[in-house]
């Protein structure tokens, strides 16, 4: 990432270290929220009378900044900045993941929360949009420190989360274990076992079958639908992936089942390439053992910027925001870009890709598989009745295919990009709910 990482953990001799300038005051960090605002502005002309409510989408409903102090293993005390933003709750409780990353800012979490509002409405799950994060590099923490950070953060945001208020889930650098700690901390604080407070939990703690793979499965489902629309044969097609964590690695695995060859993968540590196709299972094992794709045997190591020149039919950004920019959009050689990540393409780059005839399947539908199965998990927790994996995957495919077809039709009708079409569908739903609820006098 281009943005510098701020100091987070205490490094000096003092037991109470000072903060850097609060990240939300730093204009350099407005990036993804600025992108979201531009996307919203593009939708306004298509909303008719509902457009008078559009301002409601340009400001988050509620933003909480919390101090997260923990005792480090060596006895010093460190402070981290945490956030939980509820962008919109017109259609239901807030829903969205929690990210642990050294570059997290309030403006970024605002954008991620807003994209959750759009995504949840696009697939018509009964949620508003929310997101959270802690400005911390979890790779610098021991397991015990990670647990303390998670528990303190959960207690601090306990004011506004809850099974019917706002339900967190995994995102970058968070996983089932982190969700288990969050569920336990919230449950201890309220005095009852509240499985419905987070999704993406371990199966033995009220988690859902299929949630771990759901986002990547969704990417593969949407890829198949889009390929059909543009007449792209998946058997033998080539994919280049940026990010090989939960979303990237599962996307690669499931696309391989459809005959797609993974020719390039990039993560923070390096970029690996093999024109004949990388062995996805072996690469996954390599990353589990070494923490990065770098050094994968039999693959060619590429300079990181060359990733954007890789010849492929499908490109899947599955890492962080603002990776496809004006600087590299002209170079991309894919027929379609499927946004596994949230916000990977800036609006200017989006325009370049559209002008070049490269189909962009936006994040707000392409990666909606995760939250869809989170919804299934929440429903299962409330009913205390658990579904089998086949049922879950079938329902997931049904919802995503239906949503994608509806979006495709809107895009054709108005001759707009799939991103604008998704925003049209979603904003109409959100603003209609907003209008029905009226304003408290
Ligand atoms: N998990 C989920 O269910 C969902 C996730 N998403 C989105 O998908 C994206 C990935 O999330 P997820 O897979 O869960 O996260 P993970 O933490 O599992 O993986 C993140 C991946 O991105 C890589 N990465 C980070 N920074 C860079 C960089 N500068 N250049 C290249 N690669 C980088 C990481 O590499 P390294 O380990 O080397 O840092 C890692 O491979 C995010 O945008 C997230 O918001 C969207 C919907 C649901
Ligand atoms: O599963 C969820 O609730 C949210 C996942 C998420 O954060 C996302 O879709 O970006």
Q: Are 157 and 104 in contact (CB under 8 A)?
A: no
Which of 243, 307, 365 is the pocket-test mutation for ligand 1 (most atoms within 8 Å of CB)? Answer: 243
Give tens-digit pLDDT for 158-170: 999 999 999 999 9
The residue whose two tokens read 């017109």 is 90
Please give the model's pTM, rounded to 2 decimal places.
Answer: 0.94
Distance 303 CA to ligand 2 centre (A): 31
d(CA 346, CA 60): 20
Residue nearest ligand 2's atom 9 by CA: 371
pLDDT band at 6 (very low <50, low <70, confident <90, very high): very low
Residue nearest ligand 2's atom 1 by CA: 371
Segment 252-261 shows an average pLDDT of 97
Going from the N-terminus, what domains does the chain have, and what CATH number goes with each?
Answer: 23-44+55-205 (3.40.50.10860), 212-366 (3.40.50.720)
As a whole-number percent, the residues of the chain with pLDDT over 70 amount to: 93
Q: What atom of ligand 1 comes closest to residue 371's alpha carbon?
A: 48
Give tens-digit pLDDT for 351-408: 999 999 999 999 999 999 999 999 999 999 999 999 999 999 999 999 999 999 999 9
| pLDDT over threshold 70, residue 15 | no
Residue nearest ligand 1's atom 42 by CA: 341
Q: What are phi and psi of 52, to 5 degrees?
A: -70, -15
* pLDDT given for residue 375 in this prediction: 98
253 catalytic per annotation: no
Cβ atoms within 10 A of the Cβ of 275, count?
12
Cβ atoms within 10 A of the Cβ of 76, count?
17
Burial label for 386, CB within 10 Å (0-12, 13-18, 19+), is: middle
pLDDT band at 30 (very low <50, low <70, confident <90, very high): confident
Residues with CB under 6 A from ligand 1: 1, 170-173, 215, 242-248, 266-269, 292, 318-320, 340-342, 367, 370
CA distances in angstroms from 67 to 64, 90, 100, listed in the order given: 10, 28, 14
The pLDDT mean for the chain works out to 93
Q: Are 337 and 365 in contact (CB under 8 A)?
A: no
pLDDT band at 439 (very low <50, low <70, confident <90, very high): confident
d(CA 352, CA 355): 5
* pLDDT given for residue 147 in this prediction: 98
| pLDDT over threshold 60, residue 16 | no
* pLDDT given for residue 243 in this prediction: 98
Q: CB neighbours of 283 closer than 8 A, spacing ≥ 6?
A: 244, 249, 252, 262, 265, 272, 293, 296
Cβ atoms within 10 A of the Cβ of 222, count?
25
Q: CB neighbours of 302 closer than 8 A, spacing ≥ 6?
A: 264, 266, 271, 272, 273, 310
pLDDT band at 270 (very low <50, low <70, confident <90, very high): very high
| pLDDT over threshold 50, residue 329 | yes
The residue whose two tokens read 């993560």 is 267
* pLDDT given for residue 7 in this prediction: 35
Give tens-digit pLDDT for 179-237: 999 999 999 999 999 999 999 999 999 999 999 999 999 999 999 999 999 999 999 99
pLDDT band at 315 (very low <50, low <70, confident <90, very high): very high
Give tens-digit pLDDT for 35-79: 999 999 999 999 999 999 998 999 999 999 999 999 999 999 999
Segment 119-140 shows an average pLDDT of 98
| pLDDT over threshold 70, residue 8 | no
SS3 134: strand
Residues with CB under 6 A from ligand 2: 95-97, 119, 169, 171, 199-200, 342, 367, 370-371, 374
* pLDDT given for residue 316 in this prediction: 98
Nearest ligand atom owner, CA of 119: 2
């Amino acid at each position: 990432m281009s943005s510098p990482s701020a100091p987070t953990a205490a490094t000096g001799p003092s037991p109470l270290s000072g903060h850097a300038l609060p990240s939300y005051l730093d204009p350099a960090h407005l990036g993804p929220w600025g992108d979201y605002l531009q996307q919203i502005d593009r939708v306004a002309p298509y909303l008719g009378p509902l457009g008078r409510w559009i301002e409601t989408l340009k400001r988050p409903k509620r933003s909480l900044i919390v101090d997260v102090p923990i005792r480090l293993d060596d006895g010093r005390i460190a402070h981290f900045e945490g956030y939980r933003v509820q962008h919109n709750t017109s259609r239901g409780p807030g829903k969205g993941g929690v990210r642990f990353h050294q570059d997290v800012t309030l403006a970024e979490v605002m954008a991620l929360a807003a994209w959750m509002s759009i995504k949840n409405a696009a697939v018509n799950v009964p949620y508003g949009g929310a997101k959270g994060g802690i400005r911390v590099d979890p790779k610098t923490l021991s397991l015990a420190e990670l647990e303390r950070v998670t528990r303190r953060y959960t207690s601090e945001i306990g004011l506004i989360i809850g099974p019917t208020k706002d339900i967190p889930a995994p995102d970058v650098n968070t996983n089932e274990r982190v969700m288990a700690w969050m569920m336990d901390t919230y449950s201890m604080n309220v005095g009852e076992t509240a499985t419905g407070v987070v999704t993406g939990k371990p199966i033995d703690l009220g988690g859902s079958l299929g949630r771990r793979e759901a986002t990547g499965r969704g990417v593969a489902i949407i890829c198949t639908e889009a390929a059909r629309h543009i007449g792209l044969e998946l058997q033998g097609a080539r994919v280049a992936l940026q990010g090989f964590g939960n979303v990237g690695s599962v996307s690669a695995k499931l696309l391989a089942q459809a005959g797609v060859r993974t020719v390039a993968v990039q993560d923070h540590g390096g970029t690996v390439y093999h024109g004949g196709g990388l062995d996805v299972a072996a690469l996954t094992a390599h990353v589990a053992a070494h923490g990065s794709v770098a050094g994968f045997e039999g693959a060619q190591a590429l300079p990181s910027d060359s990733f954007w020149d890789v010849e492929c039919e499908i490109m899947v950004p599955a890492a962080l925001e603002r990776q496809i920019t004006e600087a590299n959009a002209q170079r991309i050689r894919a027929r379609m870009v499927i946004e596994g990540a949230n916000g990977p393409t800036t609006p200017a780059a989006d325009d370049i890709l559209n002008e070049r005839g490269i189909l962009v399947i936006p994040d707000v539908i392409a990666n909606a598989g995760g939250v869809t199965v989170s919804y299934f998990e929440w429903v299962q927790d409330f009913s205390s009745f658990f579904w089998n994996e086949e049922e879950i995957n079938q329902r997931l495919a049904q919802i995503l295919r239906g949503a994608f077809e509806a979006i495709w039709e809107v895009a054709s009708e108005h001759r707009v990009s799939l991103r604008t079409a998704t925003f049209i569908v979603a904003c109409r739903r959100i603003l209609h709910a907003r209008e029905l609820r009226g304003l408290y006098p």
